[in-house]
């Protein structure tokens, strides 16, 4: 899955999302095109699945860093620090996320409202 995640981040960060093909992603990940279709079905599902994984890691890291911090000011400061660190260490993921329109962000599973 790591190879596929890296390929999605690389390919989507380097090309217009509408021009990216499953074949490009498969080649970049060094997996067969059939493997991508078997596990993800289509490019949109693959994209949203990988972005959910990336954002899930960020959310878990934020929650981990907030443990034991009571002050709202300190919690905000720590949250911003973790987010800025994420931007520094994952510029390709940030480029990919910034290409998603606000109306389509809700398609990423991490943004679903839990009842």
Residue with tokens 């300190």: 74
Strongest mean pLDDT among 5-9, 81-85, 108-112: 81-85
Q: Which of 50, 54, 44 is CA-nearest to residue 8?
A: 50
Q: Each residue of 27-82: pLDDT tens digit? A: 999 999 999 999 999 988 998 888 888 889 999 999 999 999 999 999 999 999 99
b or e along 22-37 (b: 16 or more beta carbons within 10 Å of the residue's beta carbon)? bebbbebbeeeeeebe
Q: Are 56 and 50 in contact (CB under 8 A)?
A: no
pTM: 0.76
Q: Are 8 and 45 in contact (CB under 8 A)?
A: no
């Amino acid at each position: 899955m790591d190879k596929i995640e890296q390929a999605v981040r690389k390919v989507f960060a380097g090309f217009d999302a509408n021009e990216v093909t499953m074949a490009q992603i498969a080649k970049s990940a060094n997996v067969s095109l059939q493997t991508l279709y078997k596990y993800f079905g289509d490019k949109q599902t693959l994209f949203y699945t990988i972005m959910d994984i990336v954002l899930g890691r960020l959310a878990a890291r934020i929650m981990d860093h907030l443990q034991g911090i009571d002050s709202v000011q300190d919690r905000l400061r720590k949250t911003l620090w973790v987010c800025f660190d994420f931007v520094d260490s994952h510029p390709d993921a940030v480029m990919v996320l910034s290409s998603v329109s606000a109306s389509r962000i809700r398609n990423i599973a991490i943004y679903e409202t839990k009842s």
